[in-house]
Amino acid sequence: MTKRANGWEAPVLSTRTDKCHAEGGLLRPCEALHNAIEDGAPSTHKGLILFETVNFETLKPSKSLVYARSGEFTAYGVVLRYCPFCGADIYSHWEVD
């Protein structure tokens, strides 16, 4: 984890791949999406943000997705269903229990 000055630890996006895919509930982004995601969320910045839920029993991320904050969607964002770089489905894993 990358610890920031405010104490928040940025999630490490491991296992960069040629195409986005999910492992369990976690999104493993392709190289381009990985590089485009804003580091240091939670944030009020515009851009692509990684959102993760945490399992409170294990204290590890259990699910993740990417959303965009831009234009009229800056306040709440809009979830990306497909990677804008490799075209892979980056949302369906979120809906699986």
33 binds Zn ion (CB under 5 A): yes
In the DSSP assignment, the letter for residue 41 is -
Q: How far is the CB of 23 from Zn ion (least distance, A)?
A: 14
The single residue among 40, 86, 91, 94 that binds Zn ion, judged by CB under 5 A, is 86
E strands, 1-97, are 2-3, 9-10, 21-23, 26-28, 47-55, 60-69, 78-79
CB 53 within 8 A of CB 94: no
SS3 18: coil
The strand pairing partners of 9, in sequence order, are 3
30 binds Zn ion (CB under 5 A): yes
Q: Which is nearer to Zn ion, 13 or 86 (CB)?
A: 86
Q: Residues 34-63: x/- map of binding to Zn ion (CB under 5 A)?
A: ------------------------------
| Positions in the binding site for Zn ion (CB under 5 A) | 20, 30, 33, 83, 85-86
